[in-house]
Amino acid sequence: MACRKKSTGKPHKRARIHNRCTDLPTFLTFIKSSGGWIHNDVDFHYSKSFGLHCVATQAISANEPIFSLPLRLCITSATACNHSVIGPILMELQHTCSLNQMQFNRACVFALLMYHVHLGSSSPLFSYLALLPTAEELESRIATMQTSSSSTKPASLLAGTWIGTHCIPRHLQTLETIHLEITSVIGQRLSISNSFSRDLLAWSAGIFHSRAIMVPNENRASNMRCEGLTPLIDILNHRPGYLSELSRPSSSPSKNNANSKSKSDLDSVSILNAAFTTTAEDVVVYKVGRTIQQNEQIFLNYGPKSNLDLLSHFGFCLHRNICDVLKVEINGEEVTMYEDCQIAIALNLCREVASVKQPGSGECDSQEQQLNNVYVIDDDDDNDDCGNGGGSAAWFQQMLKEEETNEKSRTVLLSTIGTPLSKDNEKLALTLMKNLVQPFIGVAEMNDTRKVDADRLSFESDVHTYLKGVERVALFVSSTVCTLEKMLSSENL
């Protein structure tokens, strides 16, 4: 599945059209002069669909280094805290702010990015900053990106969704805390408050959330990774399941000349060592675990991301995203459900809400005993997969029945549904579960914004894709609940 650029796309009409290929040569020169390395068979292109992206001009073998980036060019909390100007202030504020560790680490990256923007052309990262999307572009694609001049259109399209009611308010509240306790303080201390404004903080957060990846920690002895911006590597677009790898080589590169050896005679580290023309230093290496064909786009796997995450922070959605989730609140607790998930947590909470169990109705019984007391367990069905209790003939008859009725029978493993309390409680709990997910079924058609804007790159289209994913999970949960209702050992159903 082809995926779009994570933070580019169709900007607002007021946004300048920014063809980043014009700024690319200066940036690539900076990377190479700073000790970075780019595979000779790699080229960069720009398109409306993919933004600035990377393509193989010749086939590249599996596990062959494609990029190498000096670790000192990565923008992480470590580089921010070690910065000669803002580092001491950050280290001091860490002990007084109310942020948790992850929030503080991200705030450090935001602050360092803002400081480089303040430096302008004198910043060593100036050519990198020139490639980044503008605030207008981020606002047109990312749900949580809001400044003082932001349009209300994205928020209105997401009204009533989990993104609109939870993700956006929480994100804005966190940024407000970071501004009050971190970035505005830095601006005041350095007498450059305008360079640490709330709007610039929103932009830097948008850049971070849409481009940051997990990079190896600067402490070589540690296996820990940290979130950070990786100039050059973050040009790559996302593809789920892509066999990408970001690592630290076991030995530092050197000026070894391998012209006398063919590429096939060298392992990955040797190729990397031969390719570098700079002095030894810590680097981050990007490679792919399969052969990349000629003219094929080179991707980066961001990890398992639901469309809720992608639309909130990355600026795109994936059709038929297997990581899509449905989030609900049950009895004050947030619950995340997805296709083929175990619904035990959600159903147990619904059982608590139903709270109709009789005193001594099996509180000390095992889960297996309670399941037997509440559900009818068809032994023949359980044995079908093993060739017993009906065998292939029974399976074939069931398949024909499903085709005739256009319904798909769902098998529910009772070990995944938690512990029932009683028949009456289970009946109410299942009804509650069904009522919880019902509002999400059909909502994508009611909000089919493709009728408003047919452009497949539009924010409206991504909202529709997000809602379709939520609906798909809701249908799975509803189907599971219906199956359990049929299995209840109650003649009243």
Q: For position 287, which CATH number holds?
A: 3.90.1410.10
Asked if residue 307 and residue 170 are part of one domain, the reply reads: yes
Strands, E, within 57-130: which ranges?
67-70, 75-76
Count CA within 13 A, CB hemisphere, residue 271: 23
Residue that finishes a domain, picked among 299, 318, 337: 318
Name the residue range of residue 450's domain: 325-487
Asked if residue 260 and residue 111 are part of one domain, the reply reads: yes
pLDDT digits (tens), the chain, 493 positions: 444 444 333 333 333 445 567 889 999 999 999 999 999 999 999 887 888 899 999 999 999 999 999 988 999 999 999 999 999 999 999 999 999 999 999 999 999 999 999 999 999 999 999 999 999 889 888 999 988 777 666 778 898 999 999 999 999 999 999 999 999 999 999 999 999 999 999 999 999 999 999 887 655 555 567 899 999 999 999 988 899 988 887 654 443 333 334 444 444 444 434 433 333 468 899 999 999 999 999 999 988 999 999 999 998 899 989 999 999 999 889 999 988 787 899 999 999 998 744 444 445 466 666 677 777 765 544 444 443 444 444 434 444 444 444 444 567 777 788 888 888 899 999 999 999 999 999 877 765 544 444 444 588 899 999 999 999 999 999 999 999 998 886 544 4
Asked if residue 344 and residue 306 are part of one domain, the reply reads: no
Asked if residue 427 and residue 287 are part of one domain, the reply reads: no
Asked if residue 233 and residue 146 are part of one domain, the reply reads: yes
Distance between CA atoms of residues 218 and 248, nearest Å: 10
Asked if residue 40 and residue 164 are part of one domain, the reply reads: yes
Asked if residue 238 and residue 100 are part of one domain, the reply reads: yes
Residue that finishes a domain, picked among 253, 287, 318: 318
Asked if residue 355 and residue 232 are part of one domain, the reply reads: no
Distance between CA atoms of residues 454 and 33, nearest Å: 44
- No. of H helices and E strands in the chain? 20, 13
Overall size of the chain counted in residues: 493
Asked if residue 301 and residue 331 are part of one domain, the reply reads: no
Query: Is 492 a member of any domain?
Result: no
Residues 333 and 349 sit within 8 Å (Cβ to Cβ): yes
Supply the pTM of this predicted model: 0.79
Query: Is 178 a member of any domain?
Result: yes
Query: Is 78 a member of any domain?
Result: yes
Distance between CA atoms of residues 282 and 219, nearest Å: 10
DSSP 3-state of 333: strand
Query: Is 378 a member of any domain?
Result: yes
Total domains in the chain come to: 2
Distance between CA atoms of residues 138 and 203, nearest Å: 8
Distance between CA atoms of residues 90 and 76, nearest Å: 13
Count CA within 13 A, CB hemisphere, residue 226: 23
Asked if residue 286 and residue 162 are part of one domain, the reply reads: yes
For 59, the token pair is 């086939």
Distance between CA atoms of residues 452 and 460, nearest Å: 8
Query: Is 257 a member of any domain?
Result: yes
Largest CA distance in the chain: 83
Asked if residue 165 and residue 97 are part of one domain, the reply reads: yes
